[in-house]
Homo-oligomer: A and B are copies of this chain.
């Protein structure tokens, strides 16, 4: 009986909610409709873009790429032996897939060793927990640091405290990340990870603990960079999983004093080398004009770097391959840029910008894939005003994928940030991030989190825009200057003192 009721509900959903549309596991497939009118894109280009959009679900090999990368290489922390193996692997793979000009361009990277982490609630009752050092954290002294815990809701509450209330304590930034489709919960939470240790250290704290910037309720903690600052003591910083953070939180009941011991053995290593891996589908008419597709090949050292950002590498490589197999080949060059060191300094992106500064005017469009495995629900551009009619046409091409055009305020991705100063036209695709923060930056970032249908939809979205960018004669002009606030602490990149004008 219960089953029949469920079937009834499903039927109702289909009929009543989507008004005749068909709901499948892959999402919403719209009913047949009149073909939209296009403003400026030539009909032949529209046809080709629609064709590649429809082919992506059956012809995408992005999952295979991702499977091989994560099962053959796995975690590839910047500058590690596995990172070097990934660089070799990616070059082989790009060559196998028919890319031209495949090369690895050396990048000098900071390195860091995670070591071991031990955490213990000492009182009011003894309990073991499992912290995970934040990226770049210094070690504790041997034997650890034991101190009273000061619980704060976040940076704002911490900023109101006097030094006397903080000095010598372990500050526990207990912000619980909000789950959200658009990732706004991350923007609220991440500053605690980035700046918690520095702000606590300014007030004399002995160490900083954060509730993971993550929505998972499973036992894994989530890492990510903590940013030490000039002139501020570097104190050990680690994350607790949500359940461990709950446990710590519960100890404060009735105003109890809580003591914690943390021991970290992480340490900086001497600088090492990694590489940006680049491959191209050469343009046939204007090979010097480049549509840049970026993702980052490095990952954190925990998990397998599937969602962050193996999947981005898989998406852009597959998109370029699909377009490269078209007859005729694309007018402009499509360059796949698998960046080094995104998670630990963005040295790959900076190296790329420096190296190609003289070429950046020939980057006619750029986009990055680095937001996990959720379906694309929107598209933002950053193009010249006169190119907006073409962008509206792109919106029409994307609509059947369930993608809405959101506006002309794209900011690219982390690996494109250094290029922003050059006003390259950008496109970006917000993806459904509801589940992303369960997995990223943790041991939970594994292949089973990827749905093949969703992946095909992402590939289709990037393919449509990439093809049009490679083919559309007029291009997208010069992007408006960026004056907005950044969700990332990358201000130094925009100062760009060491980047060519």
A residues near B (Cβ < 8 Å) are 5, 8-9, 12-13, 16-18, 67, 70-74, 124-125, 127, 130, 216-220, 242-243, 246-247, 250-251, 253, 303-304, 442-444, 446-449
Contacts and interface: CB of A to CB of B under 8 A. Distances in A.
Given A17-B5, A247-B304, A218 B444 contact: yes
Given A217-B449, A219-B443, A8 B17 contact: yes
16 contacts: A9-B17, A71-B251, A72-B124, A72-B125, A74-B127, A217-B446, A217-B448, A218-B220, A219-B303, A219-B443, A219-B446, A220-B220, A243-B447, A246-B448, A247-B304, A250-B447
A67 B250 contact: yes
A306 to B, nearest CB: 9
A498 B36 CA distance: 82
A243 B447 CA distance: 7
A124 B73 CA distance: 11
Contacts of A442: 219
A373 to B, nearest CB: 13
Contacts of A246: 446-448
A252 to B, nearest CB: 10
What is the total number of copies of this protein in its complex? 2
A217 to B, nearest CB: 5
B16 A12 contact: yes
A312 B202 CA distance: 47
Contacts of A216: 218
A448 B448 CA distance: 23
A426 B176 CA distance: 44
A400 to B, nearest CB: 17
Given A16-B12, A216-B218, A220-B219, A243 B448 contact: yes
A74 B447 CA distance: 32
Given A218-B220, A243-B304, 18 more contacts: A5-B17, A8-B16, A9-B17, A67-B250, A71-B125, A71-B247, A71-B250, A71-B253, A72-B124, A72-B125, A217-B448, A218-B218, A218-B219, A219-B220, A219-B444, A219-B446, A243-B448, A246-B446
A242 B448 contact: yes
A119 to B, nearest CB: 13
Contacts of A304: 243, 247
Contacts of A250: 67, 71, 447
A218 B444 CA distance: 5
Nearest to A218: B218
A70 B243 CA distance: 11
Nearest to A439: B218
A205 to B, nearest CB: 24
Nearest to A70: B247
Nearest to A242: B448
A417 to B, nearest CB: 30
A250 B67 CA distance: 8
Contacts of A217: 446, 448-449
A220 B67 CA distance: 21
A393 B480 CA distance: 75
